[in-house]
Chain A
Amino acid sequence: MHLILHIFKKDVRRLWWGIAVALSLQAWMAWLDARNVTADLPNFSLLLMVTWACLISLAVHEDPLVGDRQFWITRPSRWPVLLGSKLLFAVAVVHMPSFLADIAILAARGFYPWAWVGSLLAKQFVLGAALTLPVIALAAVLQSFAHLALAIIAIGGLTAFVTTFTPLLHSQWRGVEDTRVAMFFAVFALTAAAIVPLQFAWRRTWPLRVAGVAAVLAAELLYISLSVTFIAHVRAGPPPRQCHHRFSSAAGACQRPHVRHAHAALSRRRLDHA
């Protein structure tokens, strides 16, 4: 534990300016959210996510795992110590401030935060699975922050291609979309959860890079195949008895014939207008 803290303190000392930026952004967003000024929050949320990803990857690259010339690799510390220090960094810089900000927002909006602790922890779990673990895994198998940025652009580009140029796959049934996205991230998170300890323990970069690429392709394929299956099922099957539909436009008009049909058939059902 002593060495975990020692390496963690070194990373904080090195990245204090980035941490200050992330905490300031987090505090400002929490303040806006607490005062119900939420118009620009999605943009700032994205900015905050990018800041977190940068910080986590920079912390991992402080003691890079790729290469054979690093100063630290012949120093006497075990791999769980190094991994522990990086996880501690992620918890201290990303998850703890985010968790505390959520509590503050709930309290400011008149909720009793401790009643929602379970949900807030679940949110941190999702954040860890969707952001922290994949970023640590990418940083662990890539040589530098620039390589990591390129990898994220490549993964994002491939995902954008899959979602944009395969319009047939889009479904406005929220359950389908949620399941599809959740499965997509689950593949990432599980692969990252396997890659991270393996790379810290063995530093076998190439096999793990191949595993990472395979996981990305598998996630994209899963995204496609799940959508086709679900949409075919939804189109061919009888109208669902229960439907929670959220319209994508403020006008509340559904563009697709099958959705219009569903809308008419389920007019008595509860519609949740966004």
Chain B
Amino acid sequence: MSSPLRTDRLSKVFRHVDALHELTVEVPEGAVFALVGPNGAGKTTAIKTLMNIHRPTSGRAEVLGVNSRSLRADQLARIGYVSENQQMPNWMKVGYFLSYCKAFYPDWRDEDAAELVRLFELPLDRKLRHLSRGMRVKAALASSLAYRPKLIVLDEPFGGLDVLVREQLIESILERTPDATVFLSSHDLMEIESFASHVAYLNEGRLLFAEAMADLSGRFREIEVTLGEPAEMPRDLPANWLNPEQSGVVVGFTDSRFESERNRAEIQRHFSGVRAVTERVMPLRAIMLAVSKSAQAAKGAR
């Protein structure tokens, strides 16, 4: 199966600022791939470089089988792109905006556009500038879904929207374009967890990991070890035990390569007098926090 989107050591430097550093990811066809990370992590830079809005400083990206630098109308007609900070033609009324967009897409379906207008309750006779932010995102999304794109690229599309609108937009994307690959950036981990199949984490322009959501959830565990009596924290803990902390007889850490048997054996090897071990499945938010904290600690140590 070919990948609709892949990058190979993609880097972007803005006046000595390393905005994106050797990003290598491959998005499987049909996946909902979320690029997450804190503000300023390089998510928008990555997306804009993929969309040929920015030129990469080095490395390359392939979008729908074509070098991103060579993206042409043919490929763009199969990509739906919606960005949080897109400058929309605010003077246009919603109806005219949709009919204006229609001319650019040979595969535009009027019935899909009408259905999206109905679903999103878009007022066709109102100017975009008079719409709320949520409604403007809906209009942009309607104009990007009505031609059933093969690849949907969303740059922080749901920021600042209330939960109901967010859910509605996510559902509409998944239902209306079941075959499309979705690549989106977000720092809202709750929304990502609800519908992403793959996740990649960027921090300060560097990719910390990229994998299927199920694998990620499977390999991260919050571990709590209760000892018989207080003991000093060993120094040679495994590298996959992130952010170890001790409070009295309780030692806590995040295991980033969790395997139950191996984990228990490692705990027995490093601690004596273990009375209880608790393993907790971690939500995405907790995983990201642990990874982020660990990365910061490593940076501080350097």
Query: A and B, one complex?
Result: yes
Judge whether A109 is part of the interface by a CB distance below 8 angstroms: no
Chain A contacts with B in 90-109, Cβ cutoff 8 A: none
Against A, the Cβ 8 Å flags (1 = close, 0 = not) of B38-60 are: 00000000001001011000000
Contacts of B91 in A (CB 8 A): 14
Task: Tell whether, in the assembled complex, residue B86 and residue A69 are in contact, meaning their CB atoms are under 8 Å apart.
Answer: yes
Task: Tell whether, in the assembled complex, residue B76 and residue A70 are in contact, meaning their CB atoms are under 8 Å apart.
Answer: no
Judge whether A71 is part of the interface by a CB distance below 8 angstroms: yes
Q: Of A10, A64, A73, which is in contact with the most chain B CB atoms at under 10 Å from its CB? A: A73
Task: Tell whether, in the assembled complex, residue A74 and residue B103 are in contact, meaning their CB atoms are under 8 Å apart.
Answer: no
Against B, the Cβ 8 Å flags (1 = close, 0 = not) of A10-29 are: 10011000000000000000
Against A, the Cβ 8 Å flags (1 = close, 0 = not) of B59-81 are: 00000000000001111110101
A252 to B18, CA, bound (A): 69
Task: Tell whether, in the assembled complex, residue B72 and residue A6 are in contact, meaning their CB atoms are under 8 Å apart.
Answer: no
Chain B contacts with A in 77-97, Cβ cutoff 8 A: 77, 79, 81, 83, 85-89, 91, 96
Against B, the Cβ 8 Å flags (1 = close, 0 = not) of A59-85 are: 000101001111101111110000000
CB-nearest residue of chain B to A204: B55
Contacts of A67 in B (CB 8 A): 87
Contacts of A62 in B (CB 8 A): 89
Task: Tell whether, in the assembled complex, residue B72 and residue A74 are in contact, meaning their CB atoms are under 8 Å apart.
Answer: no
Task: Tell whether, in the assembled complex, residue B104 and residue A77 are in contact, meaning their CB atoms are under 8 Å apart.
Answer: yes
Task: Tell whether, in the assembled complex, residue A68 and residue B76 are in contact, meaning their CB atoms are under 8 Å apart.
Answer: no
Task: Tell whether, in the assembled complex, residue B104 and residue A73 are in contact, meaning their CB atoms are under 8 Å apart.
Answer: no
Task: Tell whether, in the assembled complex, residue B79 and residue A69 are in contact, meaning their CB atoms are under 8 Å apart.
Answer: no
Judge whether B209 is part of the interface by a CB distance below 8 angstroms: no
Contacts of B54 in A (CB 8 A): 68
Judge whether A2 is part of the interface by a CB distance below 8 angstroms: yes
Task: Tell whether, in the assembled complex, residue B104 and residue A75 are in contact, meaning their CB atoms are under 8 Å apart.
Answer: yes
A77 to B96, CA, bound (A): 18
Given contacts A14-B91, A78-B73, contact A69 B103 (CB under 8 A): no
CB-nearest residue of chain B to A5: B103
Contacts of A73 in B (CB 8 A): 53
Contacts of B81 in A (CB 8 A): 74
Judge whether A50 is part of the interface by a CB distance below 8 angstroms: no
Against B, the Cβ 8 Å flags (1 = close, 0 = not) of A38-50 are: 0000000000000
Contacts of A3 in B (CB 8 A): 103-104
Contacts of B74 in A (CB 8 A): 76
Task: Tell whether, in the assembled complex, residue B83 and residue A69 are in contact, meaning their CB atoms are under 8 Å apart.
Answer: yes
7 smallest CB-CB distances across A and B, nearest first, come from A76-B76, A76-B73, A76-B77, A74-B81, A6-B103, A69-B87, A68-B53
Contacts A69-B86, A69-B87 aside, 12 further interface pairs with beta carbons under 8 A come to A67-B87, A68-B48, A68-B54, A70-B86, A71-B89, A73-B53, A76-B77, A76-B104, A77-B73, A77-B104, A78-B72, A78-B73
